Structure 1
Amino acid sequence: MSILEIFKAVLFGIVEGITEWLPISSTGHMILLDEFIKLKESKEFIEMFLVVIQLGAIMAVVILFWNKLFPFSFKEKVKVKTDIFVMWFKVLVAVIPGAIVGILFDDELNDLFYNYKVVSTALIVFGILFLIIENKNKNQKPQISTIAEITYKTAAIIGVFQLIAAIFPGTSRSGATILGALLIGVSRTVAAEFTFFLAVPTMFGASLLKIYKYGSAFTGSQIVILLIGMLVAFVVSLGVIKFLMSYIKSHDFKVFGWYRIILGSLVLLFFMLR
């Protein structure tokens, strides 16, 4: 395996680590990157690779939010944190719609909607929605300011928005869930946190599904490319998640809305003129 292929895997890991957590669509960026930087692997491997490197990004969430995710404490004696268990039940409620659709219709959805027209449209539409909702919420006090205040109904609504992202690539999983949360009165910080927590089972499940469908026929070079992509995505995600949580304490999501509109327009223009 050449140094160039390793460099490509690093670039994909960087892009994944940045775009998975910011509400700007990792799919849109990956499509553009894949146009300019082609891995010398089969189409089936690349499709699997672009999903499975998310496992690295997941581990960044687990590391950074361990105390909020792990429901047991071992100080002196074992203590069960019931509030964390309740949070996980709410995450499960939000995961179910997307999981059902993903398991049943993954290949069909890819064939129907994984194209530049859908991706660019989703980028632009959800970018506009970010601007509209942020303007609507301006000077309004959030109704939900902690994870504990998220009800099962709220979690289910956020899950429906994640389902939209599962169906239409370019929507952005984090973008859709954050947008849905903002729409129903969740604060920016809580919306981002719940989106991160929701990503753990969602992305882990999606990765396992892709690995299962791909099978076990990995070559040595493919394993190296996959591990490098995951490691880089993990390291980059650590910084990006910290940045986003700090940024939204004093800023809104409008800049990401404008970025999505510009990127969607560029994706559309690029493929129309190609």
Structure 2
Amino acid sequence: MDIIFALKAVIMGLVEGFTEFLPISSTGHLILAGSLLNFTDERAKVFDIAIQAGAILAVMWEYRARIGTVLGGIASDPRQQKFALNLVVAFLPAAILGFLFNKAIKAHLFAPLPVALAFIVGALVILWAERRHKTLPGAHRIETVDDMSMIDALKVGCAQAFALIPGTSRSGATIIGGMLFGLSRKAATEFSFFLAIPTLLAATAYSVIKERAALSAADLPLFGIGGLAAFASAFLCVRWLLRYISSHDFTAFAWYRIVFGIVVIATAHFGWVMWAE
């Protein structure tokens, strides 16, 4: 195994895990990290999506009890049936739009500068949503994920579709979208975690199958290393975020996005960093 590629795999896996479930865009960070590491070929693009499996496993492990309850009651428990149906409904908008426009999005938006702009725009939306949440304290009417209706799930699913734009953040779109649509911060965050499971599994499987010609058996160790790094870092991140939201809002993430986006634009403009396209 090439030690340089192995090191890049670890770094990319850590970036994926630490950013996947925060409202700061894992795809955006992977594009930027890949540019800095010169890890931008076709194999790298598949790698970025495939290592999401490690992050998914971290969420599945954290919520293994609830997942077991849902699977065990899917045939007879109306509460679990409703929850599973809500996940399916929320999954569909991004799945359909991603299938239709995936090629165009990759061709035009998977580059550092569009990602930087998406970082800044997304940050402004977060700041607006948090201000609204504070000035209208009664705006959230849904305390837990089990209180959500199918319409609530569809709204969150439509919000998730905006994350097809690299740099927007799937977690940010679903959590902030959920809060705007009446979910409490905790309910929006937890539903975002659960919705990540079918969404990321589908994206991973689709990408690997579609780009299988660009892969070989020799790539498996690198994928394994990256996936393991993503699992470990995502597990730590999920645990931390659940504690964080109990006493904090998402304003700090918004300012991080603004600063990060400005840094990328400035370094590209002045030629300080040669971001790969």
Q: 1:228 — aligned with what?
A: 225
Between 171-180 and 103-112, the greater mean CA deviation after superposition: 103-112
| Secondary structure, aligned partner of 1:138 | helix
- Superposition deviation, residue 82 in structure 1: 3.5
- Superposition deviation, residue 112 in structure 1: 2.2
Structure 1 CA distance for aligned equivalents of residues 8 and 131 of structure 2: 39
Q: 1:69 — aligned with what?
A: 67
Q: 1:146 — aligned with what?
A: 144
Q: 1:133 — aligned with what?
A: 129
- Superposition deviation, residue 3 in structure 1: 2.0
Q: Which runs of 5+ in 1 are unaligned?
A: none
Is contact 2:43-2:214 (8 Å) kept? no
Q: 2:9 — aligned with what?
A: 9
Q: Percent identity at matched positions?
A: 36
Counterpart of 2:260 (choices 260, 263, 272) is 263
String of CA shifts for 1:67-107, please: whole Å, max 9, x gaps: 22232459xxx995432221111011111111011122211
String of CA shifts for 1:149-191, please: whole Å, max 9, x gaps: 111111111111111111x110000011111011112111111
| Secondary structure, aligned partner of 2:100 | helix
String of CA shifts for 1:91-145, please: whole Å, max 9, x gaps: 1111111101112221121112222232111111111111111111116142110
Residue identity matched to 1:233? A
Between 216-225 and 106-115, the greater mean CA deviation after superposition: 216-225
Query: Are 2:100 and 1:90 aligned?
Result: no
Counterpart of 1:240 (choices 237, 240, 259) is 237
TM-aligned CA distance change 1:217 to 1:171, over 3 Å:
closer
Between 52-61 and 4-13, the greater mean CA deviation after superposition: 4-13
Q: 1:32 — aligned with what?
A: 32
Is contact 1:72-1:80 (8 Å) kept? no
Is contact 1:98-1:162 (8 Å) kept? yes
Q: 1:163 — aligned with what?
A: 161
Aligned counterparts, 1:174-185, within 5 A: 174-185=171-182
Residue identity matched to 2:130? E
| Secondary structure, aligned partner of 1:21 | coil
Residue identity matched to 2:45? E
Q: 2:19 — aligned with what?
A: 19
Residue identity matched to 2:5? E
String of CA shifts for 1:220-246, please: whole Å, max 9, x gaps: 431111111111101111110000000
Q: RMSD between aligned alpha carbons?
A: 1.8
Structure 2 CA distance for aligned equivalents of residues 27 and 117 of structure 1: 13
Structure 2 CA distance for aligned equivalents of residues 115 and 94 of structure 1: 28
Counterpart of 2:120 (choices 120, 124, 141) is 124
Counterpart of 2:47 (choices 4, 29, 49) is 49
Residue identity matched to 2:19? T
- Superposition deviation, residue 2 in structure 1: 2.4
Is contact 2:32-2:112 (8 Å) kept? no
- Superposition deviation, residue 59 in structure 1: 0.5
Residue identity matched to 2:181? I
Structure 1 CA distance for aligned equivalents of residues 2 and 54 of structure 2: 23
Q: 2:275 — aligned with what?
A: none
Structure 1 CA distance for aligned equivalents of residues 100 and 230 of structure 2: 28
TM-score, structure 2 normalization: 0.91
Is contact 1:9-1:229 (8 Å) kept? yes
| Secondary structure, aligned partner of 2:142 | coil
Paired positions, count? 268
Moved over 4 A (4+): 78-81
Residue identity matched to 1:43? D
TM-score, structure 1 normalization: 0.92
